[in-house]
Amino acid sequence: MQANWQIYTGSDFEWDKEVDLNNSHYRQSSSWSKLKANKGWKIFRAQFDSNSKKTKIQVLYKKVLFMTFFFIPGGAIGSTENLDEDFIKFLIKKTNSKLYYIRIDDGSFSEKNLDFFSNSKIWLRPTYRLNEAKCAYFDLTEINSKDDYFKNSSKDFKSSIKNCRKKKLIYKCTSSPNSNELAEISISMFNKKKIKMMEFNDFENFKSAIGNQMHYVIAYDQDGTPLGYRAIMIIKDKAWDIAAATSILGRKKYAGFGCLEVIMELLISKSVREFNLGALNSNAGGVNAFKLGSGAKERFYVGEFEYNKFFLFRIIINLIISISLSQKFIQYNILRRLFF
């Protein structure tokens, strides 16, 4: 019954406790909701409580003219089986929506969740995904010493680590980085790769919304020039790769390899057991080669599903998403923000 769905009224602290207890995805945390609120998303939390199946879920939504876009990053906390037609009715009643589109991105490795979505009569795989449903993954419980960090890495990766060590770079670990330095590195990488990068406002947003859960490793040369960074988010014994970039000069000094090595040291020191290095995408060959070359294993997660009654409308939405994430559109947006 729809009546079982209610607005969650607990505090951020109580919500994050649920995320921790259920080993849920970081994108269901209160800090991630603050990050997205700063980007213009509205957020509400809901819960379904019965004797056998309990579900909590954090929903993001935006209204554009007469259309409501719902996004559920990370997936549900608890049972996905309650994400049925009554759940859809609850969403549209809560937001007073007439025309709407819903997308969920379940970041779990649960076969039960995958079976539910794959066999659902209402949830469908989108024709265009934001990310393919696979990632690079480290099980850090298998690491006993520094020699184990990249024991399964490729020959080229091991060679690059050795070359980086010879450069005697300086590394800084912080939760409050200089956003100008990181933006400088990102711009340098954008000029080389022409791919979407984090910018100054993004770094400032992360600092204000997520704070000490974010950890940055920044590489400098002997002259203090920032060469590269890697940013991760840690919740208890899990870590997720959030962003990374290396400048043109940093690439020559293998700074990206050094940053990852220092990240591994940081994770081991904090007793982190799982490290998700992020999505593997077919159009990101260099990034994929780096992640899998490190010895991380390819692992599949549940991924994205969508809901909308009208086939043609779903096609249009997916087309808009594909255009907005195309290389030319990303280049245009970054250049516009840099120079205008």
Buried b (16+ CB within 10 A) or exposed e, 117-137: beeeebbbebebbbbbbbbbb
Residue 294: name the closest of 139, 141, 155, 164 by CA: 155
234 and 143 in a common domain: yes
Distance CA(114)–CA(258), nearest Å, equals 36
- Is 332 among the domain residues? no
In-domain check, residue 214: yes
Q: Residue 187's domain spans which residues?
A: 138-296
282 lies in the same domain as 148? yes
Token representation of residue 190: 């954008």
Q: 157 and 163 in contact (C-beta within 8 Å)?
A: no
In a domain, 305, yes or no: no
Is position 304 within any domain?
no
Q: What is the pLDDT of residue 199?
A: 82
Backbone angles phi, psi at 152, to 5 degrees: -100, 15
Domains of the chain: total: 2
Asked if pLDDT for residue 262 goes beyond 60, the answer is yes
Residues 157 and 259 in one domain: yes
The residues, any chain, with a CB within 8 Å of residue 340's CB and separated by 6 or more, are none
Q: How many other β-carbons are positioned within 10 Å of the β-carbon of residue 259?
A: 26
pLDDT of residue 191: 62
| pLDDT over 50 (residue 329) | no
> What is the reported pTM?
0.88
Is there a domain that residue 333 lies in?
A: no
* Judgement on whether residues 102 and 164 belong to the same structural domain of the protein: no
Contacts of 313 (CB under 8 A, 6+ apart): 101
Question: What is the average per-residue pLDDT within 217-241?
Answer: 95
- 19 and 110 co-located in one domain: yes
| Residue 231 Cα distances to 37, 206, 260, angstroms | 21, 10, 10
Same domain (yes/no): 152, 291: yes
Of 179, 170, 190, the C-alpha closest to 214 is 179
Distances (CA, A) of 185 to 157, 180, 247, 281: 22, 9, 5, 22
Examine the domain organization and report whether 147 and 288 are in the same domain. Answer: yes
Helix (H) or strand (E) holding 156: helix 155-166
pLDDT tens, residue by residue, 178-214:
999 999 998 877 666 555 667 888 899 999 999 899 9
- 190 against 146, higher pLDDT: 146
Residues 92 and 164 in one domain: no
What's residue 335's pLDDT? Answer: 45
Q: Are residues 289 and 142 in the same domain?
A: yes
Domain contains 156: yes
Residue, of 333 and 272, whose pLDDT is higher: 272
Residue 1 confidence (pLDDT) above 60 = no
Of 95, 123, 151, the residue that ends a domain is: 123
Taking a C-beta distance cutoff of 8 angstroms, is the pair 149, 277 a contact?
Answer: no
Q: Are residues 174 and 286 in the same domain?
A: yes
Q: What is the pLDDT of residues 70-123, one digit of tens each?
A: 999 999 999 999 999 999 999 999 999 989 999 999 999 999 999 999 999 999
Same structural domain, 143 and 286: yes
CATH code (residue 89):
3.40.630.30
pLDDT band at 126, cuts 50/70/90? very high
pLDDT of residue 182: 94
Round to whole Å and give the CA distance between 117 and 120.
5
Bridge partners of 174, per DSSP, are 216
Q: What's the pLDDT score for residue 297? A: 96
69 falls within a domain: yes
Q: How confident is the model at residue 173 (pLDDT cuts 50, 70, 90)?
A: very high
Q: What is the pLDDT of residue 52?
A: 76
* The domain boundary residue, chosen from 260, 278, 296: 296
Q: Using CA atoms, how far apart are residues 332 and 137, in angstroms rounded to an integer?
A: 33
Question: Do residues 43 and 36 make contact, with C-beta atoms less than 8 angstroms apart?
Answer: yes
- What DSSP assignment string belongs to 92-136? HHHHT-SEEEEEEEE----HHHHHHHHT-SS-B--SS-SS-SEEE
What three-state secondary structure class fits 43?
A: strand
β-strand pairing of 238-246 with 274-279: parallel
Other C-beta atoms lying within 10 Å of the C-beta of residue 96: 8
Residue carrying the six token digits 């050795």: 162
CA atoms within 13 A of residue 54's CA, in its CB half-sphere: 5
Q: Are residues 162 and 80 in the same domain?
A: no
Per the CB < 8 A criterion, the answer to whether 307 and 86 are in contact is no
Where is the domain boundary, 296, 314, 332?
296
- Residue 323 included in any domain: no
| Cβ proximity of 82 and 120 under 8 Å | no
